[in-house]
Amino acid sequence: MIDFSERIILDGATGSLLAERSGAPAGYRLEKLNIENPDVVYSVHRDYVDAGSNVIYSNTFGANALKLGNQTEEIISAAIEIARKAAAGKAYVALDVGPLGKLIGEGGISFEEAYDNYARVIKAAKDRTDLIVIETMTDLADARIALLAAKENSSLPVMLSMSFEAGGRSAFGTDVESFARTVSGMGVSAIGINCSLGPVEMLPMAEKLLACTSLPVFIKPNAGMPRFVNGQTVYDIDKRQFCDAMNKIHTLGVNILGGCCGTTPDYIRIMAEEVKEVALRPAYRPVRALCCSTSTVTADGMKIVGERINPTGKKRFQQALREGDFDYILAQGIEQAQSGADILDVNVGLNGTDEKGNMVKVVEGLQKVVSKPLVIDSSDPAVIEAALRRYNGKALINSVNGKQSSIDSVLPLAKKYGAAVVCLALDENGIPDTIEGRVKIGKRLISECEKAGIAKEDVYVDTLTMAESAQKGSAVCTLGALKEIEKTGAGSILGVSNISFGMPHREDINASFLEMAKDAGLVLCIINPSLINIKPSEYARDFLLGKDGATEKYIAYAAKTDSVKVEELASADAPDMTRAIVGGMGTAARETAMRLLAEIQPLEVAAKHIIPALDRVGELYESGKIFLPQLIAAADSAKQAFAVLEEKMKESGVKASDKRFVLATVKGDIHDIGKNIVKAVVSNYGFKVIDLGRDVDYKIVLDAVEKNYPCVLGLSALMTTTAQNMATTIELVREKYPDIDVLVGGAVITPEYAQSIGGIYCKDANATVKELKRIFE
C-alpha cells in the first residue's frame, strides 16, 4: 500500500514521449497505441521506472468513451497490463484519468453523462492498479465529478491535480486556494498541480497549496513553458534547471514530485538522484473558510450571509418558484453580492413545488453569475445532497440539529462532500429558552461533528434568534449562548432579522442586534445585505437589552422616522409616463404609475399611459431616432411601471392576461440576449410570456405548449448549426398542434428560412409585438 507521506517520485512526460517515439501527429489519440504499438508504450514506462519513478501513470489520459467509444475498455485494460509489466514490482501503477474534454452543463453534456463516463473508466480498470490519479483538470466541476465517480466506484486511493495559468487561476477561473479547500474534504489522498507551467512559475502556487491543505501535496510541472514550432511542442528549460527548481519546491515541504509535458526520463532521473529525503513541512494552520470555484471567503472577521434567496414570507419569490422564473431568483443573488454579501444562503423550500429540482437549478445558475460561496439551506437531506453534488466549492450546509435523525442523515453528507455545517441549538424537546440549554446542545453537536470526521473549523453553531417582541429576554439568551460557543473554538452563525418580528422599523432593531452579536463573537451573520450599513440606534439597543420602558420609547422613535419618509414620497415631482419610459427612467415610471393608480384603474393606466409610451418608443426606434440600448432601457422602465400595476391587480383580484406567448432559445443554442430583449418588450404589451430559457429540449417546448395552449410559440436561434433544431422543434409541436402560430428569429434566421420551416419571421422585438397583436386580434 502506497504511503503518501513518504518521498515519492512520479513519472514524466509520457504523452510527449509517446508522440515522439511513435511519430503520431499532434492531436492523435495516443491511448490507441496501447493496442497498436504496445512496445513503444512499454518502453516509455520502463524508462521512467529505470529513471527512478516510484509511481507511473497508465497511458489512459484520454481513454474515455467520448473519445474512444466502444474501444474504451479494451484500451484501458491493455494500458494497465503494459504499465504493470513495465513497473515489474519496482513502482506503483496509477490509473490515469484526464478530463473528458467536454463542456459540462448547459450546451454540453449533463452532469450524469459526465459522471457515467468517468465511472465507466474507473470500472474498466477493475481496481487493477495501485491507485487512481485524476489530473490536468482545468474545470473544478469536471474534477469533482471525476473524483465522485472514482470514490463511488473504487476503493483505491485517489490523487487529484489541476492545471493553473501563470496568473494562479485555471482556464476556467479556479484559483489554487478554492481548489484546495474544495477537494481536501472530499476523500483524496494527495492533491497537486500539474502541466501548463514550468517549475519556476509553479513554486508560488506550491507554497499556496501547502498553506491551504493538510494533505500531502504533489507537483508535476512541464519542462518550462511550451511553444509550437513546425507542428512540434518545445519547452524552454533543461534538466539541470528543472531539477534545481524542483529542489526548491521540495524544500517548501512538497514530498511528491514529478514532471509533465517535456520532461524526459533524464529530467526525472536527476531529480530522483538528488531528492532523497522526505520533505519537511510547516504545520498546517486550520482556517475557517468556504469557497466557490473562483473565490474563497475566510471567516476571520464577521462575514455576511445574504438571506434573500428564500421564499418564506415573500410572495414575489414564491411566484417565481411556482412559475420557474429563475432569472428573478438569480437576480436576487447578484443584487445581494453587489450590496455586500460575502456568502449567499439558498433556500427554495415551498409547498407544492419540486424543491430538489429547483435547488439544483438555482445552485447551478448562481455559480454562473456570482463568485460567492453558497449555503445549502434545506430540511431535506435528499435536497442537500443533490445540491452538494452539483456545487463546485466548499459549501455550508444549513442545517443539522440535535435530533438523532438529523445527525444521522446530515453529518455523513458534510463529511462525504467536504462541506461545513450549521448546527442548530435545538433537539427533540424543541428550543431551550435558557443559555445553558442551547450551549449544551451546541456542544453536543460539535462533538458529534468531530466523531463524524468534520473539523471544528467547519462547524458553525446557531444559537437561534427569536422575536424579542414575543418574549422579552430572547436577545439576551441568544447572545449569551453565542459567547459560550465562541469559547469552544467552533464557529457561530445567526439569522438576524427574526429578532425584530412584530416591531415597527425593523431595520433599526436588526442593525443594533447585529452589532451586539458581533461584539459577542459572531462569525457568520444571515441578513439582507442592503441593511448592513444602517447605524445601530440607542433606542433599539435598549429594547433588545429588555430595559424598562424601552419598548415604548422605541415605538415612538420609529413612528417619527416613518412619517418623514411618507412626506418625501408625496412631495416628489415625477415626470409623466411617456417621458419616464422614453427616457428609460425606471424609478420615475414606477412613481408615475403609483400616482396614476390613485385616480384610475390599473388597466386604464396600462392602456392610456404605458402602452402609448411604448408605442412612441417603438416609433422612435423604427425611425432610427433611438437604438436598441434605449429600447431595452425603455422596456425595463415600463416593466417597473407594470410591476406596480400587477401588485394592485392582484390585490383587487383582476385576472392576469391570457394571451400567452411561450418563448425559448432552441436546443443546442445558448445565445439568449435577443430572446431576453423580446421577452422584456413583449411582456410590456400585456402578453403573458412563458420563458423556457435557452438550450431548451424539444420535449420541454412541447410540454409548455400543452400546458399553455392556446398560445403562440416563439423560437430563437443564433447559429447555423442550431437553426436545424428550430425546424425539429416546430415539426414536433405541429404534430400535435397543427394550427399553432410560431414566431421565429435570431441572427442566422432569414425570412426565407423561416417560411421553409413553417415559422413567421420576426426581425426584432418590435416586429414580434406587431405579429402577436395581429394574431391575438
Partner 1 sequence: MISAEYLAKFLGKGDDALALAKKAVEEVSNAAKCRCVEATARLIREDGELFAENTVLRLKGNDIAELLKDCDAVYFFCATIGSEVDMLIERLKLTDLTLAYATDLCAGLWVDAYCDELEKRQRARLEEKGRTLTRRFSCGYGDMPLSSQSSFIEALKADKFLGLRLTEGGMMIPSKTVSAVAGIGYDKSDFKSRCETCVKRGSCEGGICGD
| CB of residue 180 to partner 1, shortest distance in Å | 19
| CB of residue 330 to partner 1, shortest distance in Å | 5
Among 93, 268, 420, 677, binds partner 1 (CB under 8 A): 677
CA separation for the pair 423, 446 (Å, rounded):
8
| CB of residue 340 to partner 1, shortest distance in Å | 15
Among 455, 632, 643, 732, binds partner 1 (CB under 8 A): 632
Tell whether omega for the bond before 99 is within 30 degrees of 0, i.e. cis.
no
* 3-class DSSP state of 257: strand
| CB of residue 93 to partner 1, shortest distance in Å | 23
623 touches partner 1 (CB under 8 A): no
| CB of residue 722 to partner 1, shortest distance in Å | 5
Residues within window 201-260 making contact with partner 1, judged by CB under 8 A: 226, 228, 230-233
Among 327, 486, 576, 771, binds partner 1 (CB under 8 A): 327
383 touches partner 1 (CB under 8 A): no
Interface with partner 1: number of residues (CB under 8 A): 66
Stretch of 250-258, 374-382, 671-679, 705-713 contacting partner 1, by CB under 8 A: 671-679
58 touches partner 1 (CB under 8 A): no
767 touches partner 1 (CB under 8 A): no
CA separation for the pair 481, 440 (Å, rounded):
9
Q: Which amino acid is at 408?
A: D
| CB of residue 67 to partner 1, shortest distance in Å | 10
676 touches partner 1 (CB under 8 A): yes
Q: Which amino acid is at 35?
A: I
For the chain, first and last CA: distance in Å?
77
Q: Which residues pair with 82 in a beta bridge?
A: none
Stretch of 99-107, 245-253, 557-565, 652-660 contacting partner 1, by CB under 8 A: 99-107
Residues within window 265-284 making contact with partner 1, judged by CB under 8 A: none
In the chain, the largest separation of any two C-alpha atoms, in whole Å, equals 91
170 touches partner 1 (CB under 8 A): yes
178 touches partner 1 (CB under 8 A): no
CA separation for the pair 34, 74 (Å, rounded):
9
636 touches partner 1 (CB under 8 A): yes
619 touches partner 1 (CB under 8 A): no
Q: Of the candidates 644, 621, 630, 513, which has an alpha carbon nearest to the alpha carbon of residue 581? A: 630
Q: Which residues pair with 491 in a beta bridge?
A: 460
Three cell numbers written together for 735: 404534430
Q: Which amino acid is at 310?
A: N
Sign of CA dihedral 756, 760, 764, 765: negative
99 touches partner 1 (CB under 8 A): yes
740 touches partner 1 (CB under 8 A): no
Stretch of 234-242, 274-282, 393-401, 747-755 contacting partner 1, by CB under 8 A: 747-755
Residue 432 makes CB contacts below 8 A (sequence gap 6+) with 425, 426, 438, 440, 441
Q: Which residues pair with 235 in a beta bridge?
A: 226
Comparing CB distances to partner 1, the nearer of 65 and 719 is 719
Among 262, 584, 714, 746, binds partner 1 (CB under 8 A): 584
102 touches partner 1 (CB under 8 A): yes
Rounded to whole angstroms, what are the CA distances from 136 to 33, 197, 204, 215? 21, 11, 18, 19
CA separation for the pair 746, 141 (Å, rounded):
31
Q: Give one word for 103, left, alpha or beta, with left for phi > 0 and alpha for psi -120 to 50.
A: beta
| CB of residue 673 to partner 1, shortest distance in Å | 5
728 touches partner 1 (CB under 8 A): no
Phi, then psi, of 419 in degrees rounded to 5: -95, 160
Query: Which strand ranges, in their side-by-side order, compose the sheet holding 55-57?
Result: 8-9, 256-257, 217-220, 190-194, 158-162, 131-137, 92-97, 55-57
Total length of the chain? 777
Query: Which residues contribute to the site for partner 1 (CB under 8 A)?
Result: 25-28, 99, 101-103, 107-109, 136, 138-139, 163, 165, 167, 170-173, 195-196, 226, 228, 230-233, 327, 330-331, 334-335, 338, 368-371, 584, 626-630, 632-633, 635-636, 668-673, 676-677, 680, 719-722, 725, 747-748, 750
